Structure 1
């Protein structure tokens, strides 16, 4: 009978520990995911903005030396991520491949122009910077037209500001929820030991002596939950890097170190503080209030 009761108590204790670890893991995983997104938000937005192309068309009068000079200018420009020269005959061939008809057959000539497809660095894909770059290109008298999606640029930048604002609010809200959930789980875990705490106190044990094993156990539970969250975050980073290698998240060891270190620190600190206050609450209760 006694053995059966002891087994029941052990199962109940293991279940309590498991629920605490699971709560810590889920909360820290969400916090870590949010942290990764916030830290890499600039990379993510820049990756999107750098895929907004700008095309510079040249008049037919522009000879090879003029085109080569412009190529050199682009090569030495700090705001250029990458660019490609599109020869008008190649552009005509690509048009035939896409449309399925050769428009030069009935026109008798190639109406297309030589051009450069340019992708700017993300920091320069804002209205003011693009306008300055466009004005600089137009100083070349052989440039006939510059095309890029102005509305998309404005829309992207407006949405980035809006998303960043909401992300800050979400970060604060989730951090508060994390503390409340972890604190609640630990309090429920310690609640089952309230009679043990009061018994130790009645035989003369000091509050610090009673708190110490509970705090140490809380830290160990926080450490396990944090490590599980870090493993899950690493799997998530590997998955994202597989499908979006241009972001280079998996190779940004500094950012990963900050997030993983933050998750580990938060898991240990919150559990230690929550355990301290939870045990303190039961230490301050009168015996009659335990029931």
Structure 2
């Protein structure tokens, strides 16, 4: 009978430990993922901004040396990420593939113009900055038109600000949930041993002596949960890096190490604090209150 009871207690203890580790893993994985997003938020937002193109169309009177001079001048600018020359004949071929008709043959001439497709660095894809660049280009008499999606620029910047704001709120919410959830799991784990705690007190054990093994056990569970969360974050980062290779998330070792170290430390701190206050509560209970 005693053996059966001991097995039951052991299964109950393992189940309690598993729930604690699972709670720590889930919460820290979510917090770590949000932390990684916040750290790389500027890089992610710049990636979206830098994919918004601007097309600069030149008049037919522009000579090859004029086009070359413009390209070299723009390449020296601080705002440029890349610039690609699009010859009018290449543009005509692309348009023919899109519409499925040879409009050059039909019209008897190519109505398109030589142009440059520009992508700017993320910091310059703001309405004021990009407007100044547009006005600067239009001062060139050889440039016929400058085209970019103004609404898309506004929409991207507005959405990035909104997303960043809500991510910060959600991160704070999850941090609070983490404390409550892990604290609850710790208290449930210690609750099953409340009689052992009271027995140790009755034979003269100090609070620090009683508390020590509980804290150490909880910290070890916190370490296990943290390591599992770190593995999950690394897998998530690898997946995101495969989907968005231009972000180079895996190459940013500093950010990844910072998040993983933060997750590990937070896992230890939360379990330590939760266990300390949970054991303190049962240490202060009277014998009648244990039931």
> Normalized against structure 2, the TM-score is what?
0.99
CA distance, structure 2, for counterparts of residue 156 and residue 244 of structure 1:
17
Q: Answer with 158-167 or 207-216: which moved more.
A: 158-167
Residue 92 of structure 1: how far off its partner (Å): 0.6
Residue 127 of structure 1: how far off its partner (Å): 0.2
Q: Is 1:50 aligned to 2:63, yes or no? A: no
CA distance, structure 1, for counterparts of residue 22 and residue 253 of structure 2:
27
CA distance, structure 1, for counterparts of residue 105 and residue 122 of structure 2:
41
Q: Could you say which residue in structure 2 is the equivalent of 1:223? A: 223
Q: Which runs of 5+ in 2 are unaligned?
A: none
Residue 190 of structure 1: how far off its partner (Å): 0.3
Alignment of 1:1-291 (within 5 A): 1-291=1-291
Aligned residues: 291
- Give deviations 1:233-281, integer Å, cap 9, x for gaps: 1011111111111011111011101110110010000000000000000
- Give deviations 1:90-111, integer Å, cap 9, x for gaps: 1011111111111111211111
Task: Please give the secondary structure, in 2, of the residue aligned with 1:146.
Answer: strand
Residue 137 of structure 1: how far off its partner (Å): 1.1
Residue 142 of structure 1: how far off its partner (Å): 0.4
Task: Please give the secondary structure, in 1, of the residue aligned with 2:151.
Answer: helix
CA distance, structure 2, for counterparts of residue 187 and residue 83 of structure 1:
61
Q: Answer with 94-103 or 202-211: which moved more.
A: 94-103
CA distance, structure 2, for counterparts of residue 13 and residue 177 of structure 1:
24
CA distance, structure 1, for counterparts of residue 25 and residue 284 of structure 2:
30
> Normalized against structure 1, the TM-score is what?
0.99
CA distance, structure 2, for counterparts of residue 12 and residue 167 of structure 1:
38
Residue 221 of structure 1: how far off its partner (Å): 0.4
C-alpha RMSD of the superposition = 0.7
CA distance, structure 2, for counterparts of residue 75 and residue 146 of structure 1:
17
CA distance, structure 2, for counterparts of residue 71 and residue 259 of structure 1:
41
